[in-house]
Structure 1
Amino acid sequence: MLRVAYHCFSVAATLQGLETVCVDFNEERWLCQYMLGKIAEKQCQPPDVFLNYYLSASNFLYDSNATYPIKINHNNPTTLSVEALELFYRTNASILKYLEKCSYITRPIGDLFKHVLKKLSSSPFAFNKAKIVDTCIYAVKWKYHYSSKSSINKNHLNSDAFIKANAGENFNFVEVPRANRNHCDYEETRASENTIATNSSSSFSNFGTESETSNTDEANSYYSESEVEKIYEKAIINLEECVTRFPEHYKSIYRLASFYINGPDGVKNENVSERLLLNQYQTGIGNIINGLFYDRKANNIFNGIWRIPSSEIDRPGNFSSYLVKCVDILIKLLTDQSNYNLLIEIILRLQRSPDIDNKMILRL
């Protein structure tokens, strides 16, 4: 099914790249790139492949006049704001998931992650800078919120020079050389993949001769623990930003909780995961986030968890499947903590048959 879906979206993306295609059809170019990225990630393709798609989708969203508000209203989100946040989330979450699975990170992959995170930190999303807006008044919040000693001149922040230097219109993604990466065998999809890469190449710049001829020793070396730590710390900050802007974004809270349970030994922290799931969590800049099940009630454990208001993002079955993941990780946490009282309470609540309109999950 994944290969069929990959082929279909590849063909659609190819057609969207044709000059003869109508404007309305081209406005959905971000969606094809987004779906291709999700498929590539599920196929265990190399990180540069799915990150390429996600960043390309973000570029197309920007060209479609997406907005990047500092707060997203769940009931009335601005143009493509939810979609833009989802792409920002997805890019960071894919990096965290990769770090969860791999004990060692090769230097080319680590350099790729650093480069992507650096580009995200100066992206339109980070600076709340839509294509139709000339200034980014919230730039100081993102760029300097971890520097208590920074004294930034407000006029300087709103200057054209500052904006051009820090919030470019494109990500200019740099790809990792294929020869230096580990990947699954998907030769049948390579022809389609190359076609899409060609059509989206305007958003990226390829490695030059110098990168192609990098020595083998460097390609086979690994990132140190401190280097990997800097990567996941930045990704965590970015996910915290997603929840701060859109408190109903349950995916970000789940991904953070999952990382603190399943991440590397040096970062595992069940207490933090418990706050993210059951209590309240404080971000690095002091914002308070309600845990995923913080608003649970006796007759509804899922109270306070809302669907994402975008049919392109929250597709049929997506919400219920995520809630299954959320309950799974909650049960794992309570089991590891030997918190049997709360575990029994949760299980008893899940045993009750809800009304058909309130049925959140189909299986567990």
Structure 2
Amino acid sequence: MTPDATALSARLLAWYDRERRELPWRAPPGVAADPYAVWISEVMLQQTTVAAVTPYFQAFLARWPRLQDLAAADLDEVLHAWQGLGYYSRARNLHACARLLVAEHEGRFPAAEDDLRALPGIGAYTAAAIAAIAFGQQAAPVDGNVIRVIARLYALDEPLPRARQRIESLAKALTPARRPGDFAQALMDLGATVCAPRQPRCPACPWHQACAARAQGQAEAFPVRPPATIKPLRLGVAFWLVRSDGAVLLRRRPERGLLGGMMEVPSTPWRTEPWPLAEALALAPVAGVSWQPLPGLVSHTFTHFTLELAVVAARVGVPAADAGVWIRPRDFAAQALPSVMKKVVRLAQAAPVTGRKRPAR
């Protein structure tokens, strides 16, 4: 490390010792971090805020306090506990990773970054976070907070995502051999509490004298981002089918892919072209049913596209047995329904189908 890097890391660690956040997954000073807690928290925190994650983390650890407990859990239970956090592939990967660690690694996490990255669902950031925080490895986890801090510290004018590799290299160069886990968490805290996206509190920053963006008087201009792109729109039709006893037809999505393994109100595929009603009804989960289009649309934004679902509804007596599973609405809370399907449920329940209708045309 250069003298400047040494001084910067020392200043940040001194600041962290005074200002560190108390978080439920963070070990107290002088206590070794639990790799399991670090792993769960870092996976949950991807694309999610600390405030949103805290109750989920506490409930998750209360239910599955050890890696072995998670490995023994049923996937449906894990997906249900994950409801509201989104990006459900993370929950599936957590479960798969726990089972692999128990089966092949004696229930222990490897300490090296490369070995951690070989595990299901653990990418570069999560591997570096576990290696640094739980095992004291000189690793540099780079999340959105760290990107912002480093880009401002050096006033990097290269736009993201091209600048990411350079930011990772600079963060690695700043990481000290002593207390690398505390340094990683200090960078995260600095970005979360001081070097905020808007109105950063520069006078409170331990790096304010060295920060090139602050010296230029334009901290908020960094990191430089590419022009925003408009997310494509996809369309579909959902089928709300109510049995004579009040149960509603649900089905499980394929294990792989978006919302894999979650429960859903059956729907057509989601595509860019509109769905003529006759074409959509040809894909209904049960044949010979009279469908009633319901007013309104369900709109939901995913990472890479926006979805709009029309909803058609019907009542049925004794449907085909293999169409899905029949669940009473009062039992929906026990199902792993993603947010978009909860919106379908709300729309359908706001305009219930009271009887058989003339077929829609």
Larger radius of gyration: 2
Question: TM-score when scaled to structure 2?
Answer: 0.31
The structure that is helix-richer by fraction is: 1
